[in-house]
Amino acid sequence: MNWIKQLWLRRRLYDDLDQEIAFHLQEKIDELVAGGMPIKEAEAAARRDFGNLELVRETAREAWGWRWLEDFSGDVRFGARMLRKSPSFTIVAMLTIAIGIAANTAVFSVVNSVVLKPLNYPKAEELVALHQIAPGAEGLADFEAGLLLSPSMYFTYSEHNRTFQSLGVWVSGAANVTGLGAPEQVRIVSVSDGVFEALSVPPALGRWLSHADQEPNGPGRVLLSYGYWQRRFGGERGVIGRIIDVDSHAREIVGVMPQGFRVVDIDFDLAVPLSFDRGKVILSGFGFHGIGRLKPNVTMAEANADLTGLLPVWMDSWSNGPKTDSHIFEAWKITPLIRPLKQEVIGNVGELLWVVMGTIGVVLLIACANVTNLLLVRVEARQQELAVRTALGASMMRIVRGLLVESIMLGLLGGLAGMGIAYAGVRFLVAMGPSNLPRLNEIAIDGRTLAFTLLLSVLSGLFFGLIPALKYAEPRSGSALQSLGRSISASRERHRARNLVVIGQLAMALVLLVSAGLMIRTFAALRKVDPGFSDPRHLQVMRVSIPESLITGPEQVTRAQNAILDRLSAIQGVKSVGFASAMPMEGFDSSWDEIYAEGKDYSNTIFPPMRLYKYVSPDFLRTAGTRLVAGRELTWREVYTQRPVVMISENLAKELWGTPAAAIGKHVREFSFVPWHEVIGVVQDVHETGVQEKTPEIVYWPTLMSDLHGPGPLDAVRVVTFAIRSERAGTESFLNEVRDAVWFVNSNLPLASVRTMQDVYDKSMARTSFTLVMLGIAGAMALALGIIGIYGVMSYTVSQRQREIGIRLALGAARGDVLRMVLEQGARLALVGVAIGIGAGLVLTRLLRHLLFGVSVYDPLTFAAVSSLLLLVASLACYLPARRATLVDPVVAIRYE
Amino acid sequence: MTKETQRDLFPGALEMMILRTLKRQPLHGYALAQHIKRMSQDTLQIEEGSLYPALQRLLKREFVKAGWGTSSTNRRVRIYKLTAAGAKHLEDEVSSFERMLEGITRVLAPEKS
């Protein structure tokens, strides 16, 4: 009979036993009666001969070894009765724990969904991002993404590798879909052969994009996302084979991907094949993200070695055009450094989430400490009950276990209530989370989160139950039965545990408040940074792309953009307008290239340093509020006559020629074999990649040039962000007029990313503000709990010392002395707590160093301010009980008890 | 307790006697008690009730089996039966008990003579 089955049968076995015993007694009685004994006597005799009925039952049951279980259920029943008996204690303790656990559950569900769960692909552990670095290429080091792959690299890697099951490259972007009602700009992802094979998620309908779909001049094909399929086709199954116009290029729908499918972290509408023309591919063009699926049992190091070995093959197989040296890239020191795809997706957000998790965990500790103190008081009040139980034969172990069961039940109750709050908390977190939080759509409370909550509840129960239980188990000098409630004053020892708990609470609260304070200082420092544009709230931005299929000639593109500017500036309330290849902080892949400056010697370097470059229209920089430091902005005349002019940033001007003014009239060029461009203006530095990042050196080209992408025919930038400076920015009526203005020029042009610059700015600060809010909440909770803790302890102490205080007063102590005495005691606790907190803070805040900006982790101001705040509030919390102590009437106090 | 000169049996003695009794024939608890009492001619002071914890222990170790049957008085009753394992256990216990008894007797014998 196995153990579980026995457990099921337990009830029946007990019934059997009872029946059997009843039978025994009945037989005996019958026999005695038959022998002539009166029935009453016979019953008594039968029982006497049988022995202690209860004891027999108990020992018989014990044979099955369920004693522990029965004791346990007894403990549970008793615990439940005790909790029910003091509902106010139970509710306060439960709520305290519930809030702590709810916060932890909510944050854990985010950590779990974002950091811990594997990506949503089959065998996701085999997936890697083909990350590589190029330490020899100056400027490129600024790329967080490292060096992306070029098409020729993709060909080499995918055709010659020996360590990958499949491998491909992809890039995300936007495209216009026409012919399905209003023109719409959609998010597209362009993928090479190998990407879908690597991700291995079967399509919901139809098929993947195939190798044949990559042919440069083949028939156009497209794959839909589930969302787009539902939105535009209502989930109609007959959609396969239909033709849609993507950037005015007819494409046949071959399949639909399932719900929730993403290419790495890109939530796309359409997937189209990348079609590289083998004949035209060169070495450069490092603009594609690589992804691969390793063969089983291949390590990353082996794969890295494999790819590293292919780099010479790559340089031998392709070139950058006639008369160029393929091996110049050796100087770049390109190093494949593949990493798990998950790391690519979640980036550095994991660290942030763990910091939040840690702080919220500390809040739970503080909450537990409060409950510990409540329980300590309770155990003291229950000494008599416990002493009686001991006297009746309960062992120490049994009582300690009973107390622990009670507190674990309290923890579980709190956890249960916390679960409910956590559901709301998760929604709050998702809404609050940085908008660029990866895997946002996957955040949910799952089995693992529930298990975590359960574990946390039990652990908190154990945690706050252990100290009171152990304290009870301590050997006592006198008999608890007698001495109880008769103490004259508070013995030092009686309060030691509670004082220690309060000190711990205050120390933890200080650490959290200092962290929150450092984030506030960071936030303030960030707000003070001049981002390089002004008054973002009144700067409307939107993205418009003009595909080749819509307007062919480059100059016509610029003229259309110019016409849009004219219409926009005619809108009422518009002060100025302009456009650029991207606004600062917009997050579009920035472009970098080597820039040659006139009069500089580049003979001892293979490449001049890489610089960020952007394309701007006349008036753009004025519209954005980027200050002109020297010279002037470019003009439309210069654009249309293709005068070789350029503007540069202040830091670049200083680096090259010493002062901004000295740069005017000098020349730079992008390639060594194109005409020089004259520097006509120098503008202030701009925080292109976010206020936390350093300002890059920037070159601003006109948008219409013959050497836009190296020497070649005239070309124009087709995808640009328009900036409109107006008090009306962001209002509905204004946006309608803006749309009409664009559509007046060409009704097929869709608008995308319509927002104010403030949104862009806030989004770039999202990480900091999220951390700030989370630490702020944690700090506020910690402060509140800590204050409640010290208030509770001081009140209790005062109530215990009523009699002593009464005697003191009767003997002539001034009320001021009593006040000071109590306050001093509270202040001592607070001071010790703060001192320990400062010590711990100096160590722990170092964990925040990557999240801070413009403030040291040891910032004395924050530490001093938080310490004084905590001391002040703690003294206030002590003042109320202290005042109550002075109001004690000596006569009443002495008669008390 | 009524009898003052009660003497505890050594652990396992009661079980041994139960097994020995059941070896002869399956019995219910009451009959077992009566039988042991009768056979020992009341020299052993056994509370009748103490039989049941012993029976439960034997059940747990699967030395006896129990099934519901009818008593001679036509009542529903649980009847115990020796299992093969029980028989084996009895043999081992009896032989070890006999060795022990022999030892004790030897120690006690010289005093008497």
Domain range summary for chain A, segments of one domain joined by +: 3-65, 69-125+347-486, 131-337, 490-527+767-897, 547-748
* Contact (CB<8Å) A56/B73: no
Widest distance between CA atoms in chain A: 136
Task: In whole angstroms, give the CA distance from residue A829 to residue A499.
Answer: 7
3-class secondary-structure state, position B45: coil
Residues of chain B in Cβ contact (below 8 Å) with chain A: 1-2, 28-30, 33, 47-50, 52-53, 55-57, 59-60, 62, 66, 71, 73, 75-78
The whole-number pLDDT of residue A489 equals 47
Task: In whole angstroms, give the CA distance from residue A362 to residue A6.
Answer: 43
Which amino acid would we find at residue A632?
A: R
Which regions in chain A score pLDDT beneath 70?
Answer: 1-8, 65-67, 136-145, 322-324, 433-436, 473-494, 588-590, 603-607, 708-711, 893-897
Using an 8 Å Cβ cutoff, are A634 and A666 in contact?
no
The 10 Å Cβ neighbour count of residue B46 is 21
Token output for B22: 């059941």
Domain range summary for chain B, segments of one domain joined by +: 13-108
Residues of chain A in Cβ contact (below 8 Å) with chain B: 1, 16-17, 19-21, 23-24, 26-28, 30, 48-53, 55-56, 59-65
The whole-number pLDDT of residue A86 equals 79
Which residues, at least 6 apart from A192, have a Cβ–Cβ distance to it below 8 Å?
A: A154, A158, A168, A169, A170, A214, A273, A274, A276, A288
Distance of CA A549 to the CA centre of its chain: 42
Does domain B13-108 correspond to CATH entry 1.10.10.10? yes
Task: In whole angstroms, give the CA distance from residue B44 to residue B33.
Answer: 12
Task: In whole angstroms, give the CA distance from residue A314 to residue A306.
Answer: 13
pTM: 0.71
Q: What is the pLDDT of residues B36-69, one digit of tens each?
A: 888 887 777 777 888 888 888 888 888 998 888 8
**DSSP 3-state helix, strand, coil percentages of chain B (rounded to 5)?**
60, 15, 30
The whole-number pLDDT of residue A690 equals 82
3-class secondary-structure state, position A591: strand
Which amino acid would we find at residue A678?
A: E
Using an 8 Å Cβ cutoff, are A331 and A136 in contact?
yes
Cα atoms found within 13 Å of the Cα of residue A712, Cβ hemisphere only: 7
Integer angstrom CA distances of residue A83 from A57, A76, A86, A237: 30, 10, 6, 59
Using an 8 Å Cβ cutoff, are A684 and A531 in contact?
no
Task: In whole angstroms, give the CA distance from residue B80 to residue A174.
Answer: 84
Using an 8 Å Cβ cutoff, are A533 and A866 in contact?
no
Using an 8 Å Cβ cutoff, are A206 and A255 in contact?
yes
Nearest to B48 among A23, A24, A55 (CB): A24
| Probe site for chain A from B18, B47, B56 (most A CB atoms < 10 A) | B56
The whole-number pLDDT of residue A709 equals 65
The whole-number pLDDT of residue A77 equals 85
The whole-number pLDDT of residue A37 equals 86
Q: Are strands A677-683 and A667-669 parallel, antiparallel or unpaired?
A: antiparallel
Integer angstrom CA distances of residue A669 from A138, A238, A276: 17, 54, 28
DSSP letter for A533, please: S
Query: Looking at the DSSP assignment, which residues form a beta bridge with residue A301?
Result: none
3-class secondary-structure state, position A276: coil
Chain B positions in Cβ-Cβ contact with residue A65 (cut-off 8 Å) = 60
The whole-number pLDDT of residue A483 equals 47
Task: In whole angstroms, give the CA distance from residue A462 to residue A840.
Answer: 25
Taking Cα atoms as reference points, which of A731, A732, A751 lies closest to residue A741? A751
Taking Cα atoms as reference points, which of A160, A81, A97, A164 lies closest to residue A130? A164
Distance of CA A774 to the CA centre of its chain: 10
* Contact (CB<8Å) A27/B2: no
The whole-number pLDDT of residue A4 equals 65
For Cα atoms A180, A185, A188, give the angle at the middle one, nearest 5 degrees: 105
Q: How far away is chain B from the Cα of A67, in angstroms, using its nearest Cα?
A: 14
Q: How far away is chain A from the Cα of B13, in angstroms, using its nearest Cα?
A: 16
Chain B positions in Cβ-Cβ contact with residue A51 (cut-off 8 Å) = 1, 47-50
Using an 8 Å Cβ cutoff, are A712 and A562 in contact?
no
Chain A positions in Cβ-Cβ contact with residue B70 (cut-off 8 Å) = none
The position carrying tokens 């009746």 is A392
Q: What is the dihedral of CA A700, A703, A707, A709, to 10 degrees?
A: 90
Please give the helix or strand (H or E) that residue A26 lies within, else none: helix A3-34
The 10 Å Cβ neighbour count of residue A218 is 11
Which amino acid would we find at residue A726?
A: S
Chain A positions in Cβ-Cβ contact with residue B55 (cut-off 8 Å) = 60
Token output for A155: 């060909």
3-class secondary-structure state, position A94: helix
Task: In whole angstroms, give the CA distance from residue A136 to residue A124.
Answer: 32
Using an 8 Å Cβ cutoff, are A668 and A519 in contact?
no
Using an 8 Å Cβ cutoff, are A873 and A783 in contact?
yes
